[in-house]
């Protein structure tokens, strides 16, 4: 066992954790980031919103984000009925002022690696393959964290503050019993990337498209090379009725949704299907003495 110290320990190297690390380092704090996975890695959450752009400018990465191989300009969003009889477009340029006219679609393997690299350039120490085990409290103050490194050895980190940016795993909230599912929002997502998906012509080809269906909804997120992230967010009851692997459940949902079937008629998956469980949940305690929960570790609600 070895002991380490830093001003701020951040759990999770996704966008929330890496952004916090960069800003803290630039304000003179010593920061260590623990990231359980090795980058690059697949992740959902690929369609950004316009107000991320000023943050990219603040971090000094805007041009780098634009230059990533799969980044695509996102002028807005389409919402379509299951049969495609009604499609409505919402354009960011027509939002209430001050409007930012576009956002970006990004592949998260590239995007997250870029932001984490930016944190390292700012001075953050990043430890891949490390995971949190047990929080150490002194009264009501969080002062330390037992962690395990990539070789299985345990270490104790002591810090002034802990930021939980562990995403939907919500490490601290789950550990402390602060994480609760929304009973009426029990959804599971089946996700892959596809080639050959039909895209609308013109500037709107970069939009995200949301297709509603009886059991939930689909997203279609196009990238610069015309590959498309497609996810089916479906009621748990629908999954249980199918009782099959993610790809089979996805296909069944497509068969029940004519607009999704039309878009996917000539498409083929280029990645294995992933299933994302328990999409929506709330967290009842977001901060306390010595800690704060940020990003999806602080809760998530399916927006559709």
Q: pLDDT tens, 165-219?
A: 999 999 999 999 999 988 888 899 999 999 999 999 998 999 999 999 999 999 9
In a domain? residue 76: no
* Secondary structure (3-state) at 272: coil
Instruction: Tell me the pLDDT tens digit for each residue of 136-161.
Output: 999 999 999 999 999 999 999 999 99
CATH number of the domain to which 233 belongs:
3.30.9.100
Same domain, 156 and 24: yes
Predicted confidence at residue 279, as pLDDT, reads 81
Which stretch of DSSP H or E encloses residue 201?
Answer: none
In a domain, 230, yes or no: yes
Q: Please indicate, yes or no, if residue 81 is contained in any of the structural domains.
A: no
Supply the CATH number for residue 16's domain. 3.50.50.60
Residue 204, φ and ψ in degrees, nearest 5:
-70, -5
Instruction: Determine, yes or no, domain membership for 35.
Output: yes
Same domain, 247 and 159: no
Q: Which runs of consecutive H residues, i.e. helices, occur in 143-214?
A: 171-176
Identify whether residues 174 and 290 lie together within a single domain. yes
CA 265 to chain centre: 28
Q: Are residues 15 and 134 in the same domain?
A: yes
- The DSSP 8-state label assigned to residue 245 in this structure reads -
Q: Are residues 54 and 163 in the same domain?
A: yes
Whether residues 212 and 272 fall in one domain: yes
**Looking at the structure, do residues 217 and 293 belong to the same domain, yes or no?**
no
Report the pLDDT value the prediction gives residue 92, as an integer from 0 to 100.
95
Helices (H) and strands (E) in the chain, counts: 8, 21
In the 8-state DSSP scheme, what is residue 47? B
Establish if 291 belongs to a structural domain. Answer: yes
Domain with 241, as residue range(s), is 187-276
Question: Which residues are paired to 92 by β-bridges?
Answer: none
Same domain (yes/no): 24, 119: yes
Q: How far apart (Å, rounded) are the C-alpha atoms in residues 170 and 173?
A: 6
Looking at the 3D structure of the chain, how many domains does it have?
A: 2
pLDDT, position 60: 98
For the chain, list residues with pLDDT below 50: none
Identify the residue whose tokens are 């008629």: 265
Both structure tokens of 203: 């500037």
Q: DSSP character for 182?
A: -
Residue 98 placed within a domain: no
**Residue 141 and residue 272 in one domain:** no
Query: Is residue 263 one of the residues assigned to a domain?
Result: yes
What pLDDT is stored for residue 261 in this prediction? 99
Which backbone phi and psi does 23 adopt, to 5 degrees? -65, -35
Residue 86 lies in a domain: no
- pLDDT of 243 reads 72
Question: How much is the pLDDT for 302?
Answer: 84
Please check whether residues 153 and 232 belong to one and the same domain: no
pTM listed for this prediction: 0.95
| Residue 145, beta-bridge partner list | 135, 157
Same domain, 172 and 290: yes
SS3 sequence, 79-113?
EECCCCCCEEEEEHHHCCCCCCCCEEECCHHHHHH
pLDDT value for 304: 76
Residues 61 and 193 in one domain: no
């Amino acid at each position: 066992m070895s002991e380490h110290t830093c001003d701020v320990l951040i759990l999770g190297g996704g966008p929330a954790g890496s952004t916090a690390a960069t800003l803290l380092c630039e304000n003179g704090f010593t920061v260590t980031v623990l990231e359980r996975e090795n980058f690059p890695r697949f992740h959902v959450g690929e369609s950004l919103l316009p107000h991320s752009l000023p943050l990219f400018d603040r971090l000094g990465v805007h041009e780098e984000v634009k230059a990533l191989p799969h980044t695509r300009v996102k002028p807005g969003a389409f919402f379509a009925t299951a049969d495609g009889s009604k499609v409505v477009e919402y354009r960011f340029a027509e939002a209430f002022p001050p409007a930012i006219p576009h956002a970006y679609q990004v592949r998260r393997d590239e995007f997250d690696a870029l932001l984490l690299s930016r944190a390292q350039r700012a001075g953050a120490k990043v430890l891949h393959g490390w995971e949190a085990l047990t929080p150490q409290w002194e009264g009501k103050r969080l002062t330390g964290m037992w962690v395990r490194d990539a070789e299985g050895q345990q270490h104790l980190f002591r810090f002034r503050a802990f930021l939980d940016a562990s995403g939907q795993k919500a490490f601290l909230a789950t550990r402390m019993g602060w994480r609760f599912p929304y009973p009426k929002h029990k959804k599971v997502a089946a996700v892959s990337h596809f080639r050959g998906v039909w895209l609308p012509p013109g500037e709107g080809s970069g939009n995200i498209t949301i297709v509603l269906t009886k059991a939930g909804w689909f997203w279609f997120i196009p990238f610069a090379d015309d590959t498309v992230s497609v996810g089916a967010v479906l009621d748990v009851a629908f999954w249980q009725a199918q009782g099959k692997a993610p790809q089979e459940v996805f296909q069944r949902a497509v068969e029940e949704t004519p607009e999704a079937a039309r878009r996917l008629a000539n498409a083929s998956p280029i990645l294995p299907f992933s299933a994302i469980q328990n999409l929506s949940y709330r967290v009842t305690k977001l901060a306390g003495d010595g800690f704060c929960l940020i990003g999806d570790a602080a809760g998530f609600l399916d927006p559709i």
